[in-house]
Structure 1
């Protein structure tokens, strides 16, 4: 991916990544089908994108569908694919109008062909937009991503294109799906669960983690603002000792 300019304001996280969790529980608590929870979750996506733009966050990554989610019931997977299809068809014009660059990270080989074509079209049409860089992780698993990056480096060494001594963290990161994108400063997970669930494991090494009790369909701009304000109170030291007072 192309290198893009980052925000210069240290008070604003350059990159916020969100694990959108709790659609099914939101629906179950209301006696509704899980599919309705996912549809309400799409409304929360719209609110979150709008909030990120208002806060001046340049990079936003949303974890929409994991590689493990393929094991869910076929009817639920089909509904999620249908929701993604409709989102790409109905929201692209608005995304483009608002200056948002859309990119999708994950294993596209498992996605329906028509959705892959919609993704390719959306990425091409929004390529030059810079107001917000929106990444959606679909059919994504961080362990798979890391393993594939390691495999490509091993093949380059085997083919004499690379010396093992040349492999360092920067070179490895260039082989990840997020190459050219800053690591997330802030990772938010909704629904009260406190784990990363195979999401951006390499990239989140020094991210600030904030866990929100709200289920994703109830997440709104005020929750995003509260998470950013909590982030601003954190002392990010990247492993270094705190300065003496």
Structure 2
């Protein structure tokens, strides 16, 4: 089946099947800024505003978990100044939004090797996830320095160590054993993966988890993605027939 394109979006229906877990590749900040003759940082700032709008809308809809691709392991290749700007925006988001997440009973999770960041930012992330760890409401996962291939390689290494140490047999390695070691092991199965800006690729994001997810590629640049666009995406998901290999 061909992945969905932006033309699949239509006004949201009043009642649709709701995905438990939605992941978003937030793409298009730079192009949004370029179209307006603004610096890329302006696009990233508006992208943070879009995060606020979309996560609030997701909570209002009753979506159980959202995973946002904020900084990939390949993003280190960007200019040092832009990487610094992105780290600054992450600091600002934690400072300005953590109290709201606590108040709204949101559980904040981070997937990826974020400990490569500066010590002060790592401490901020640890504090933020710690303060929300006892919450029982919607789960917000942020992918930071995340790459799915590295994640799977790490799982393979851990399984090899367990076999070497006699903790498990080769025959015990199955899909469940792999899933138990993924960064997303405590999240619901991924139902819907959205990529904004018109690009149609996964860019090393949740490759295992997306095996049976519905894919939706929309032309909207991430800073323009809002509650209504999310509602339309959920409506498109509701029109899909999910067979999981059956009839």
RMSD: 1.2
- 1:183, distance to aligned residue in structure 2 (A): 2.0
Give the unaligned 5+ runs of structure 2. Answer: 1-14
Give 2:23's aligned residue.
Answer: 17
Compute the displacement of 1:45 (Å): 0.2
Assess, with a 3 A threshold, how the Cα gap between structure 1 residues 28 and 10 changes in structure 2: closer, same or farther.
closer
Name the CA distance, whole Å, in 2 between partners of 1:106 and 1:78.
18
Shift of 1:131: 2.4
2:109 maps to 1:65: no
CA distance in 1, matches of 2:147, 2:130: 24
CA deviations 1:63-85 (Å, max 9, x no partner) are 00100001000000000001001
- Given the two structures, how large is their TM-score scaled by the length of structure 1? 0.93
Deviation beyond 6 Å, 4+ runs, structure 1: none
State the structure with bigger RCO (CA 8 A, min sep 6), 1 or 2: 2
Structure 1 unaligned runs (5+)? 1-8
Match in the other structure for 1:182? 188
- 1:39-86, Cα deviation, whole Å (9 max, x unpaired): 000000000011101110010000001000010000000000010011
Does residue 147 in structure 1 map to residue 153 in structure 2? Answer: yes
1:101 corresponding residue in structure 2: 107
Secondary structure at 2:212 match in 1: coil
The equivalent residue for 1:161 is 167
Residue 192 (structure 1) aligned to one of 183, 194, 198: 198
Aligned length: 233
Which stretch shifts more, 130-139 or 142-151?
130-139
- How far apart are 1:114 and its partner, in Å? 0.9
Distance (whole Å) between structure 2 residues aligned to residue 149 and residue 143 of structure 1: 10
Alignment partner of 1:210 out of 209, 213, 216: 216
Instruction: Tell me how far 1:130 sits from its aligned partner.
Output: 2.4
Q: SS at the partner of 1:204? A: helix
For the residues of structure 2 that align with 1:234 and 1:128, how far apart are their CA atoms?
35
> Given the superposition, is the C-alpha separation of residues 146 and 10 from structure 1 closer, same or farther in structure 2, using an over 3 Å criterion?
farther
How far is the alpha carbon of 1:99 from its aligned partner?
A: 1.2
Task: After superposing the two structures, state which structure 1 stretch, 134-143 or 154-163, moved more.
Answer: 154-163
CA distance in 2, matches of 1:219, 1:237: 29
Q: Does 1:117 align with 2:120?
A: no
Q: Distance in 1 between matches of 2:167 and 2:136?
A: 35
